[in-house]
A = this chain, B = another copy of it.
Amino acid sequence: MTNHRDAVAAGRELLIEIYRTMRTIREFEDRVHTEFAGEDIPGAVHLYAGQEAIAAGVCSVLSDDDYIASTHRGHGHAVAKGCDVTGMMLELYGKSGGLCGGKGGSMHIADFDRGMLGANGVAAGGVPLAAGAALSAKVRGTDQVAVAFLGDGGANQGAFAESLVLAVVWQLPVVFVVEDNGFAQATGTSFHLAGKQIALRGEAVGIPSRVVDGYDVFAVRQAAAEAVERARSGGGPTLLECKADRFYGHMEGWDQQAYRLESEIDELRSSHDCVKLFADRVLADESLTAEELSAVDAAVRARIDAAVEEARNAKEPDISELLTDVYASY
């Protein structure tokens, strides 16, 4: 684990915020997993549990008006960027009042007021959008920064490779955060990355690039802080390759994870749970108390309970919504 003096120095409030973010994501995902199994939630849902430290660490150094573009596995990014969890839950249920009015669903959750430019159903499809948001900030002369999240599998997409080039040539204030969770669906990174780190691809085009322990929220936060500072000060793009495996399968209801050994998952959950690792550490060095953590736990649980309750009882969108938000010529 990294030295986390900076985080501790930032004080209890920040630590609690980071914990709240990670706990909220975990609780949200665990609960969606249960509700999905109960067949209450329609559609395709990809859970982020296990990777919380990445979203939480990166977004902890962003302001409200910075931008992120996310992936099909986007709940964690949305929560970390400050999206309302009730609005998110309503969206997952396809209900009126959802963040996208029920039109988007899990794979298209977005909240432009929070700088969350959207989950994305296409691998690496959102990466160029983040580059564009960075261009926008640069042309408008603000100091906003954009972050593109993508997966190890998405890192093989041409759109990502091209975005690296564009970002370095245009010196855009963008940070590429590749989350290597070991798999693209059922295909392992040891196959599809041919044993190489994605960070090398950033370096190859001249982008400062680092591999980061994605279970360690402090490590992520530190790396992200440097990257964001570089971007804000006109230093151009950075690539962070954060490694942390997912707890659940690729997609709810889709796979039984037969492509993973059970021992792999057990070991992951017992020794690489980023939320536990955080808790152990702040308790060990007494920067937070067990009571503080429990208070967060309880509050988060209540918030998610309420979100599910509201989502279940919410109205379906009105049929007239079918033809709004688009130019329909007939």
What is the minimal beta-carbon distance from A276 to any residue of chain B, in angstroms? 34
By beta carbon, the residue of chain B nearest A156 is B165
- In the bound complex, what is the Cα–Cα distance between A203 and B158 (angstroms)? 17
A195 contacts the other chain (Cβ, under 8 Å)?
yes
Interface centre among A157, A191, A194, A195 (most CB of B within 10 A): A194
Q: A194-B206, A196-B204, A206-B194 are in contact. Are A162 and B156 (CB under 8 A)?
A: yes
Q: A201-B204, A203-B200, A204-B201 are in contact. Are A162 and B169 (CB under 8 A)?
A: no
- In the bound complex, what is the Cα–Cα distance between A158 and B208 (angstroms)? 20
Interface centre among A157, A169, A204, A206 (most CB of B within 10 A): A204
Mostly, the A contact residues are: helix
Size bracket of the A interface: 20 to 34
Q: Which residues of B contact A203 (CB under 8 A)?
A: 200, 204
- In the bound complex, what is the Cα–Cα distance between A206 and B191 (angstroms)? 12
What is the minimal beta-carbon distance from A129 to any residue of chain B, in angstroms? 15
- A191 pairs with B162, CB closer than 8 A: no
A binding-site residues for B, Cβ under 8 Å: 156-162, 165, 168-169, 191-196, 200-201, 203-206
Copies of this chain, count: 2
- B161 pairs with A162, CB closer than 8 A: yes
Q: Which residues of B contact A158 (CB under 8 A)?
A: 157-162
What is the minimal beta-carbon distance from A183 to any residue of chain B, in angstroms? 15
Q: Which residues of B contact A169 (CB under 8 A)?
A: 191-192, 194
Interface centre among A158, A159, A195 (most CB of B within 10 A): A158
- In the bound complex, what is the Cα–Cα distance between A193 and B165 (angstroms)? 7
Q: Which residues of B contact A201 (CB under 8 A)?
A: 201, 204-205
- In the bound complex, what is the Cα–Cα distance between A168 and B194 (angstroms)? 7
What is the minimal beta-carbon distance from A192 to any residue of chain B, in angstroms? 6
By beta carbon, the residue of chain B nearest A197 is B204
Q: Which residues of B contact A157 (CB under 8 A)?
A: 158, 162
Q: Which residues of B contact A159 (CB under 8 A)?
A: 158
What is the minimal beta-carbon distance from A130 to any residue of chain B, in angstroms? 16
Q: Which residues of B contact A206 (CB under 8 A)?
A: 194-196
By beta carbon, the residue of chain B nearest A191 is B169
By beta carbon, the residue of chain B nearest A166 is B156
By beta carbon, the residue of chain B nearest A187 is B169
Q: Which residues of B contact A194 (CB under 8 A)?
A: 165, 168-169, 205-206
> 23 A–B contact pairs at CB < 8 A?
A156-B162, A157-B158, A157-B162, A158-B158, A158-B159, A158-B160, A158-B162, A160-B161, A165-B192, A169-B191, A169-B192, A193-B205, A194-B205, A194-B206, A195-B206, A196-B204, A196-B206, A200-B203, A200-B204, A201-B201, A201-B204, A201-B205, A203-B204
